[in-house]
Amino acid sequence: MLSTKCEVITIRAEQNPTFGGVKPEPMAQNLKPLMEAIVESNADVGFATDGDADRVGVVTSDGELVTPHEVFGLLLLHLYENRGWRGGVVKTASVCSIVPRIAEKLGLPVYDVAVGFKNICEIMLREDVLIGGEESSGLGFKNHIPERDGILSSLFVLENMAMERKSLNQLLAELRKEFGEIHYDRIDLPYERPNRMNLIPKLQLHPPRQIDNLPVAKTTTYKGVEAVNGIKFHFGDTRSWLLIRASETEPLIRIYSESTSDKMVRQLLDQGLQLLKAAT
């Protein structure tokens, strides 16, 4: 049995329902105090959960926030290679292509579902699932409850480092060397008008054949509680896609994209804005 220990330094642990005046989502713009504290204290890794601890932000010793897609990928490899667990991989539509590429190498089935952990949970209750995750930093695991758990995610990252006897930076470098770097971004577009849920069905009726001079190879739609609320355009290089989704819980429309460069991601997001403008 592996035996190890670590020193833990805690920051911002006081009870404060306003979260210090920032949103509780573990995103880069909300985690600057953690990033600074890691560098100042020469720590190896940092973790931050949201208010109910179902999501986690992971920060390297350099103060770099690891993307949720890469945390997903690292833990998929860890559970398969170090713990010897097997099962399917469930991802929401907004998760980057690195996850299915890893699953393909490992010979594991992949389930692609609409955004929302409830959709992952449905598959976990029905199938033998190793890990399920979403773009917003929530992961669920086999041999546990079918729900997101930011604390268990943090412990698995630490266990991965201990069992591999490598720093998080080393693990990330190996991941990126084998499966490629991620170029991804999203736009949260405030949309107060009542026709928000009608926009995606409009795009579904008249989908473009090409976007930013890229031929659309395939279109996937995702159903919400009452109607289609997401549409994803896949392009020929397998790493490029554009997802437009109307939130069912907030007055927002979200546009997500992954591609082969940051420049291409920005262009696809701009094209997504133009598609929405044409549909309104």
Report pLDDT digits (tens) over 41-92: 999 999 999 989 999 999 999 999 999 999 999 999 999 999 999 999 999 9
List, as one string, the DSSP characters of 99-123: HHHHHHHHT--EEEE-SSHHHHHHH
For the entire predicted model, the pTM comes to 0.94
Q: Can you give the pLDDT at residue 1?
A: 53
pLDDT band (50, 70, 90) for residue 246: very high
Report pLDDT digits (tens) over 125-154: 999 999 999 999 999 999 999 999 999 999
Fold (topology level) of 184-279: TATA-Binding Protein (3.30.310)
When the candidates are 3.40.120.10, 3.40.50.10440, 3.30.930.10, 3.40.1170.60, the CATH number that belongs to 68-179 is: 3.40.120.10
Strands, DSSP E only, in the chain? Answer: 45-49, 56-60, 88-92, 110-113, 129-133, 139-141, 184-190, 210-211, 214-223, 228-235, 241-246, 252-258
Report pLDDT digits (tens) over 179-194: 999 999 999 999 988 8
Residue 164 tokens read as 């591999």
Q: Can you give the pLDDT at residue 2?
A: 62
**CA-wise closest residue to 152 among 65, 55, 19:** 55
- φ/ψ of 230, rounded to 5, equals -150, 145
- The ranges assigned to domains in the chain are 19-60, 68-179, 184-279
**CA-wise closest residue to 99 among 157, 182, 186, 164:** 182
**CA-wise closest residue to 47 among 61, 34, 36:** 34
Residue 151 tokens read as 């604390």
> Count of CB atoms within 10 A of residue 76's CB?
23
